[in-house]
Structure 1
Amino acid sequence: MKQEAFVARHQAEWDAFERWLDGRGESLRRARRERELPELRDADVPARYRRLCQHLALARRRGYSPALTARLQVLMQRGHAVLYRTPPPRWHRLLVFLVAGFPRLVRAERGCMIAAALLLYLPAVLAFAAIQWQPDLSASMFSPEQLTQFEQMYDPADPQRRLGRDDGTDVAMFGHYVWNNISIGFRTFASGLLAGVGTIVVLLFNGAFLGGIAGHLQAVGHGDPLWRFIVGHGAFELTAIWIAGGAGLQLGLRLVAPGRLRRIDALVEGGRRGALIAAGVFVMLLVAAFIEAFWSSIGWMPAWIKYAVAAVLWAGVHAWLLLGGRGRVPGDGAPP
C-alpha cells in the first residue's frame, strides 16, 4: 500500500488519539479549544494504542517517509507514558473526585435530585407557614417537653449561651454532630432499597420536622437565634441530605423500573453510583459538622456577619455542584 493511501485510511484515528492525549497530558489548553471535535472514549484507548503500534511497525517495514514514522513514534511514546504512568496518589484521586467526579454524579441524577430537594423543602415550608398561621399546630407535632427544650436552646434572653446546644465543648459537639448527620444521611440513602418509598418517607419527615421547629421558634419570638445558628452549616448539611435522598431515589427507581437491564444488574449499578454519591455526602456532612460545632454555635457574633458568611457558603456549594467537573481536571479520567 502506498503511503498516501495508508495515511488517508488511518489519519482520522491518529488525530483522535492525539486529541485524547492532549486531554490527558500536557496540552490541556489545546484540548479545551478542540472540545467540539469527537473525542476518543477512554475504554477504546488500549485497542487504539495497539493499532497505533502496528501502524508504526508497518510504516517502518514499508519504508515510509521519516516524517510519518517520526509522528507515529511520538504518538506511541506519548501513549505509553500516559497508559503506563504511575497512578496518582490516593489523596489526589480523592481530591479529583470531590472537585469533579462527585458534582458530575449529582448532575447525572438531576431528576432524582430535584425530586429529593422538593420532598425535603416543601414539607418544611408548608409546616413553617402553617404554624405561623395557626401557632397551636406545633403542640400537635411536638410534646411540651420538646417545645420547652427548643425554646431554651434558642433563648434570645440568654446571649452567653451557645446557640443550639448545651455547654459541651466544641470538640465533643463536633463528634456528636458527625454521628447525627451521617446517621441521617445514611438512613436517607439506604432506605431507597425499599423501592424508594423509605427515602420519600425520611425526606418528608425530616422536612416537616425542621419546618415545625423553625415555625414554632419563629412564632414565639426565638427565630433570630435559630436562623443565626442554622444558616451557615445548612449550606452543606441540608444540601447533603437531599443529595443522599436523590441517591436513594435513583436506587429505588432502578429496583422498580430496571429498563432493559436485569433487575439485579440495575440494582448493582444503582448501588455503585449511590455509594459514590454517598461518599461525597459523607465529606459534606463532615464539613457541616465542623462548621456547626466551631462556628454556628457562636452566640455573640453579629447577625450580619453570620448571614454574609452563609451567603458565601451557599453560593459556593451550589456553584461547585453546578460547575464542578465541567472542564478537564488533571488526573480525572471521566468525561466532562
Structure 2
Amino acid sequence: MDIDAFIAVHSPEWDRLDELSRRRRLDGAEADELVRLYQAVATHLSTARSAAPDPALVTRLSEVLVRARTKIAGAHEPAWRGVVRFATVSAPAALYRIRWWTHAVTVGFLVVAVVSGVHVALNEDVLNSFMSPSAQEKYVDYEFEDYYEPGPGFTGLVWTNNFWITWQCIGGGITGFFPLYVLWQNAIGVGSTGGMMAAHGELDRFLSLIAPHGLLELTCIFVAGAAGLRLFWSWIDPGPLKRSTSLAREGRALVTVAVVLMVALGVSGLVEGFVTGSDLFWWLKILIGMVALAAFWTYTYVLGGRAVRDGETGDLSADEAGAYAVTAG
C-alpha cells in the first residue's frame, strides 16, 4: 500500500473527526457524522497497522480515535467530584427537606422529656420505683458523672449505641409507629434521669454534662425520627406519584440522611468522649456543643436550602434512579 496516497486520500476525514471531537457542543447531524467518521477511521487504523505499520501514522490515528471515543461515550467525573457533590448538595438537601419534621419531633421529644422529668422529680414513689434511695445517692453523687470517661474506647461505644438508635428510627420508619416508640422511650429515659438529678439538687450538673454532646447527639436522633416518619408519610400521601415510586424516592433520600447522621454522630461521639468528661470549664464544654450544633444547622439551612431551590431532593439523579410516571389521583 502506498502510504503517502493513503494519507492524502483519508487525511480530510481524520482532520474532520479531530475537529468534531474537540467541539464542546454538537448538533444532531454533527453527532451522527462523528460516529460515522469514528467507525471509518477505526477501519483506517486497522488497515494501516496490517498493511503499512508506520509508527507516526498509527500514533496519529490512535490519538484521534481516543479523543473521539471519549466524546461519544462521555467522560466520567472523577470519583472525588461525586463525593464533593454528595457532601455539598445531596446530603444537605435531604436534611433540609425534612427540617420541619425534625423541628416537630424536637418539640414533641422535649415536651415528653420535661413532663417525665417533672413527674419523677415531684413524686417520691415514682422516683423510688427506679432505684432505692441509697442507690439514687450513689448514682447522683458520682456514677452519672463517672459514666463519661474520656477516651477513644468510650467514643466508639457511644457512637455505636447512638447510631443503632438512629437506625431503629430510620429502618422502622415504614411502620409509622416504631420511630415514635423509639423517640418516646428515649424521651422518657432522658427526662427521668434529669428528674432524678433535679430531685437531689443536681439539675445543673445534669445539664452541664449532657449539653456538650447532647445538643448534636439528640438532634441526630430527632432527624432520624423525622426521616422515618417522612418515609411513612410518603406511603400515606404519595402526591402525584405512585405509592411505590414515592416510597422508593423517599427511601433513597433517607439513606442519604443516614450517611450524614453517621458522620454527625461521630462528631458528637468525639465531643462526648473527649470533652464532656474532661477537665475543661463547664461553659467551654457547652460552648463546644453549641458550635457543633450551629455547624449542623448552618450546613442544613445554607447548603441544603440552596440545593433544594436548585431542584435537588437528596435522591439519586434521574439517570441513576430511572424515570417515574406521574399519575392522577
Fold-level match, TM-score > 0.5? yes
Mapped partners of 1:252, 1:135: distance in 2: 37
Q: RMSD in angstroms over aligned alpha carbons? A: 3.6
- 2:130 maps to which residue? 143
- 2:229 maps to which residue? 249
Mapped partners of 2:111, 2:188: distance in 1: 8
The CA deviation at 1:261 is 3.0
- 2:157 maps to which residue? 176
- 1:193 maps to which residue? 174
SS state at 1:259 partner: coil
SS state at 2:280 partner: coil
The CA deviation at 1:149 is 6.3
SS state at 1:258 partner: coil
**Taking structure 1 as reference, are residues 203 and 84 closer, same or farther at Cα in structure 2, changes over 3 Å only?**
same
- 1:165 maps to which residue? 147
SS state at 1:324 partner: helix
Contact 2:173 2:231 in 1 (8 A): yes
- For each residue in 1:199-235, what CA deviation from the matched residue of structure 2 results, as whole angstroms up to 9, or x when unmatched? 1121122112211111211221222332222111112
Mapped partners of 2:244, 2:237: distance in 1: 11
Mapped partners of 1:240, 1:308: distance in 2: 18
Task: Note if 1:317 corresponds to 2:304.
Answer: no
Task: Note if 1:53 corresponds to 2:53.
Answer: no
Task: Note if 1:125 corresponds to 2:114.
Answer: yes
- For each residue in 1:114-143, what CA deviation from the matched residue of structure 2 results, as whole angstroms up to 9, or x when unmatched? 3322332221122233344x1426427x62
1:94 pairs, out of 79, 83, 91, with: 83
Higher helix share: 2
**Taking structure 1 as reference, are residues 258 and 290 closer, same or farther at Cα in structure 2, changes over 3 Å only?**
same
2:94 pairs, out of 90, 105, 122, with: 105
Contact 1:131 1:138 in 2 (8 A): yes
Contact 2:155 2:272 in 1 (8 A): yes
Mapped partners of 2:169, 2:134: distance in 1: 28
Q: How does 1:235-274 map to 2 (within 5 A)?
A: 235-274=215-254
- 1:220 maps to which residue? 200
Contact 1:163 1:296 in 2 (8 A): no
Mapped partners of 1:321, 1:268: distance in 2: 23
**Taking structure 1 as reference, are residues 286 and 308 closer, same or farther at Cα in structure 2, changes over 3 Å only?**
closer
The CA deviation at 1:165 is 0.8
For 2:27, the aligned partner's letter is C
Task: Note if 1:302 corresponds to 2:297.
Answer: no
Mapped partners of 2:89, 2:137: distance in 1: 42
- For each residue in 1:86-136, what CA deviation from the matched residue of structure 2 results, as whole angstroms up to 9, or x when unmatched? 42334x54354334432221221234223322332221122233344x142
Contact 2:113 2:192 in 1 (8 A): yes
**Taking structure 1 as reference, are residues 99 and 259 closer, same or farther at Cα in structure 2, changes over 3 Å only?**
closer
Contact 2:90 2:313 in 1 (8 A): no
Mapped partners of 1:208, 1:144: distance in 2: 16
- For each residue in 1:136-175, what CA deviation from the matched residue of structure 2 results, as whole angstroms up to 9, or x when unmatched? 26427x6216x866754552xx5xx893517x66122112
Task: Note if 1:232 corresponds to 2:226.
Answer: no
Q: How does 1:23-62 map to 2 (within 5 A)?
A: 53-54=27-28
Q: Identity percentage over the alignment?
A: 24
**Taking structure 1 as reference, are residues 266 and 238 closer, same or farther at Cα in structure 2, changes over 3 Å only?**
same
Mapped partners of 2:197, 2:158: distance in 1: 21
Mapped partners of 1:148, 1:311: distance in 2: 35
Mapped partners of 1:109, 1:309: distance in 2: 25
Mapped partners of 1:94, 1:108: distance in 2: 20
Contact 2:94 2:313 in 1 (8 A): no
Contact 1:135 1:216 in 2 (8 A): no
Gaps of 5+ in 1: 1-48, 58-79
The CA deviation at 1:322 is 1.8
The CA deviation at 1:55 is 8.4
Mapped partners of 2:171, 2:313: distance in 1: 28
Mapped partners of 2:199, 2:245: distance in 1: 50
- Alignment TM-score, normalising by the size of structure 1: 0.64
Select the structure of larger CA radius of gyration. Answer: 2
**Taking structure 1 as reference, are residues 295 and 103 closer, same or farther at Cα in structure 2, changes over 3 Å only?**
same
